[in-house]
């Protein structure tokens, strides 16, 4: 516990953040947080504050930072529009279980409820999309509120917390001392594992002829990557991942059978439909994973492990629920687990991989050789980066191609907006990731539409010399919406075509080296140039305008009803 000292609330906030290990934060100043920023001037050697160009950029950068490092991301904004500009990122973090502490300024407590200038009830607005939020009206509350915020944000199923601090609390003096929060009455984030349930689960796994592990982001959030690998190897069990679980197991691991769901791999989806036992760990059975729930995994018994009790049985019927932390459960499963070859099951996986090679991979290049395809770009990037880069995507076709064709050697290497699907996420999240892991190559894979939603964050990259690589796949369309219009709306391309600016010229205005390529023979050289650049670099690739992502499960259809190509 820090010794008591008389300081203002603004300084108490910064000291509390430092006590919680905050080294970097992202934000944008304004009238109701000026006292905090004034104090931050004297703490620049202890907290690296990144000035973004928009509050949405700040919260997405904090998300990217948290996802890349495993630490709590911190962002700050002023009241009113500053606070409301955080809401999209907060909602995104809630759905994707990203630990954030978001700090907003507020009008003085004496003016609350008066519709004062830039007053907004951010507590009511964010209540549905935070794990906890709290309004501070006196300086003495600040240390306790911050301690509780970090504890709640990082414990159990992680998520965002918002602390709204009235301006008077920032300037009042208080006796400062800090005590970390270690527990809260009625909040039990780490459940005790059911040993009888574990015993039943192991029996079911040992007896299964066609078992399949479905690994979600919960594996990563609990630090269970090694436990997952050891469990899978001990039982010789195939593993598929959700979109958010990508990189929990290295792409090249012999037991990895691919990604699940709407644009997942053929083998992973086919094995789901033919499995007799699914062991789902740290995933929530999203509709993008299951398709038609009435026809999902029709032959399988389902074991579901999740730290959030509310997820168990929420979307699909399950046979055995284990309310447990992923790492705890995986370690427990290894006791009594038997190794079985299951040659027929792995032969089925190889058969489905061959189907994908013939029906999908064979159709990824332009047969006439005129256009570069997104699939080519991501495949070639994967060959150059050799699985060592952190890939941060925006949302849409760029996201799905990156999920399908990227390769990953290490965990926390694929960062994307999963549950909310937020366009504009990619660029600020990538710069936040690069701040968090400066020694790693971080590549932002963006579409031309998503880039233009947060394009201003090129200024953040410029001012802070953040060496993120930016790969823009430009098809002059809102590509995923256009794909749906083509396949399901009789090719009525209503307001999805984009007339784009010169992205290289814009990058040059931000003093970021850039290049644009249009021919397949230029691609590899340009990708290598980007990869070898000493700092930030923007590469725009003009890609085939009407390329689609396949395979695809139409919305509401069964995983058995894959569309393989046009």
**Per-10-residue mean pLDDT, the chain, length 566:** 79 98 98 98 97 98 98 98 98 98 97 95 98 98 98 98 98 96 94 96 98 98 98 98 98 97 96 98 96 96 98 96 98 96 97 94 86 96 97 98 97 98 98 98 98 98 98 97 96 97 97 97 97 98 96 94 89
Q: What residue numbers bound the domain in which 257 lies?
A: 195-353
Same domain, residue pair 90 and 51: yes
Q: What is the pLDDT of residue 2?
A: 53
Nearest residue to 20 via CA among 178, 164, 187, 240: 178
Last residue in a domain, options 307, 332, 353 = 353
Q: What is the pLDDT of residue 548?
A: 96
Dig out the tokens for 404 from the structure. 């399908």
Q: What is the pLDDT of residue 558?
A: 95
469-474 sheet: strands from edge to edge: 414-415, 390-393, 442-447, 469-474, 537-542, 514-517
556, part of any domain: no
CA–CA distance, 399 with 473 (Å, rounded to integer): 10
CA–CA distance, 130 with 336 (Å, rounded to integer): 40
Looking at residue 505, which CATH number applies to its domain?
3.40.50.970
How far, CA to CA in Å, does 448 sit from each of 208, 397, 415, 479, 480? 46, 11, 18, 9, 12
Dig out the tokens for 464 from the structure. 């802070």
Same domain, residue pair 326 and 373: no
Same domain, residue pair 80 and 160: yes
Dig out the tokens for 143 from the structure. 């240390």
Same domain, residue pair 10 and 139: yes
3-class DSSP assignment, residue 429? helix
Strands 256-259 and 239-241, bridge-based pairing: parallel
74, part of any domain: yes
Same domain, residue pair 349 and 458: no
At 212, give phi and psi (nearest 5°). -145, 125
Whole-model pTM?
Answer: 0.97
Q: Which residues are catalytic?
A: 55, 117-118, 167, 480
57, part of any domain: yes
Preceding amide of 176 cis, omega within 30: no
554, part of any domain: no
564, part of any domain: no
Helices (H), 251-373: 266-274, 287-290, 326-333, 343-359
Looking at residue 316, which CATH number applies to its domain?
3.40.50.1220
Same domain, residue pair 321 and 394: no
301-306 sheet: strands from edge to edge: 256-259, 239-241, 211-215, 277-281, 301-306, 320-323
Considering its fold, how many domains does the chain have in total?
3
236, part of any domain: yes
Same domain, residue pair 206 and 347: yes
Place of tokens 């394009």: 455
Per the CB < 8 A criterion, the answer to whether 104 and 85 are in contact is no
Per the CB < 8 A criterion, the answer to whether 498 and 478 are in contact is yes
Q: Is 433 exposed, middle or buried (0-12, 13-18, 19+ CB in 10 A)?
A: buried
How far, CA to CA in Å, does 77 sit from each of 84, 138, 470, 539? 9, 19, 26, 31
Same domain, residue pair 342 and 270: yes
For the chain, count helices (H), then strands (E).
23, 20
Q: Which residues pair with 105 in a beta bridge?
A: 165
Last residue in a domain, options 353, 374, 396 = 353
Radius of gyration from C-alpha coordinates of the chain:
24
Can you give 502-552 as a three-state secondary structure string? CHHHHHHHCCCCEEEECCHHHHHHHHHHHHHCCCCEEEEEEECCCCCCCCE
Same domain, residue pair 59 and 156: yes
553, part of any domain: no
Q: What is the pLDDT of residue 119?
A: 96
Same domain, residue pair 153 and 9: yes
Dig out the tokens for 496 from the structure. 């999805």
Last residue in a domain, options 353, 374, 389 = 353
Nearest residue to 540 via CA among 501, 483, 510, 566: 501
Same domain, residue pair 159 and 282: no
CA–CA distance, 447 with 424 (Å, rounded to integer): 9
Q: Which residues pair with 241 in a beta bridge?
A: 215, 259
How much of the chain is helix, strand and coil, in % rounded to 5? Answer: 40, 20, 40
Same domain, residue pair 373 and 320: no
Q: What is the pLDDT of residue 3?
A: 59
487, part of any domain: yes
């Amino acid at each position: 516990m820090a010794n008591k000292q008389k300081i203002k609330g603004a300084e108490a906030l910064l000291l509390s953040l430092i006590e919680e290990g905050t080294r970097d934060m992202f934000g944008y100043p304004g009238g109701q947080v000026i006292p905090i920023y004034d104090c931050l001037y004297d703490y620049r050697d202890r907290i690296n504050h990144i000035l973004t160009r928009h509050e949405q950029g700040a919260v997405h950068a904090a998300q990217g930072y948290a996802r890349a490092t495993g630490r709590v991301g911190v962002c700050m904004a002023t009241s009113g529009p500053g606070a409301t500009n955080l809401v999209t990122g907060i909602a995104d973090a809630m759905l994707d279980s990203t630990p954030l502490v978001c700090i907003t300024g507020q009008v003085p407590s004496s003016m609350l409820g008066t519709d004062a200038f830039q007053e907004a009830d951010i507590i009511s607005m964010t209540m549905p999309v935070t794990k906890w939020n709290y309004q501070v009206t006196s300086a003495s509350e600040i240390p306790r509120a911050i301690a509780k915020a970090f504890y709640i944000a990082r414990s159990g199923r992680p998520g965002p917390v918002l602390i709204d601090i009235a301006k008077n609390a920032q300037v009042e003096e208080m006796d400062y001392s800090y005590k970390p929060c270690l527990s809260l009455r009625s909040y039990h984030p780490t459940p005790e594992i059911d040993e009888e349930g574990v015993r039943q689960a192991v029996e079911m796994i040992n007896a299964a002829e066609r078992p399949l592990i479905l690994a979600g982001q919960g594996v990563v959030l609990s630090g269970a990557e090694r436990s997952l690998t050891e469990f899978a190897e001990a039982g010789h069990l195939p593993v598929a991942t959700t979109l958010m679980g990508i990189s929990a197991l290295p792409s090249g691991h012999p037991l990895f059978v691919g990604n699940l769901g709407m644009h997942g791999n053929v083998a992973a989806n086919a094995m789901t439909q033919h499995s007799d036992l699914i062991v789902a760990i740290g995933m929530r059975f999203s509709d993008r994973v299951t398709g038609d729930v009435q026809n999902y995994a029709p032959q399988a018994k389902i074991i579901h492990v999740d730290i959030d009790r509310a997820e168990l049985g929420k979307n699909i019927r399950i046979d055995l629920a284990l309310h447990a932390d992923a790492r705890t459960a995986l370690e427990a499963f290894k006791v009594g687990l038997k190794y079985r070859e299951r040659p027929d099951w792995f032969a089925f996986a190889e058969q489905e991989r061959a189907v994908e090679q013939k029906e999908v991979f064979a159709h990824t290049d332009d047969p006439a050789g005129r256009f570069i395809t997104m699939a080519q770009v991501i495949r070639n990037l994967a060959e150059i980066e050799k699985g060592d880069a952190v890939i941060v995507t925006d949302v849409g076709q760029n996201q799905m191609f990156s999920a399908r064709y990227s390769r990953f050697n290490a965990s926390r290497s694929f960062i994307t907006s999963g549950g909310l699907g937020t366009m504009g996420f990619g660029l600020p999240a990538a710069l936040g990731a690069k701040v968090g892991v400066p020694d790693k190559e971080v590549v932002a894979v963006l579409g031309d539409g998503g880039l233009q939603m947060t394009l201003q964050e090129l200024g953040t990259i410029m001012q802070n010399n953040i060496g993120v690589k930016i790969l823009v796949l430009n098809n002059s369309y809102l590509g995923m919406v256009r794909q749906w219009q083509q396949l399901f709306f009789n090719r009525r391309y209503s307001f999805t075509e984009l007339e784009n600016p010169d992205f290289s010229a814009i990058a040059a205005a931000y003093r970021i080296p850039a290049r644009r390529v249009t021919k397949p023979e230029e691609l590899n050289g340009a990708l290598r140039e980007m990869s070898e650049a000493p700092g930030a670099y923007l590469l725009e690739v003009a890609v085939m305008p009407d390329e689609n992502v396949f395979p695809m499960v139409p919305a509401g259809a069964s995983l058995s009803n894959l569309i393989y190509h046009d």
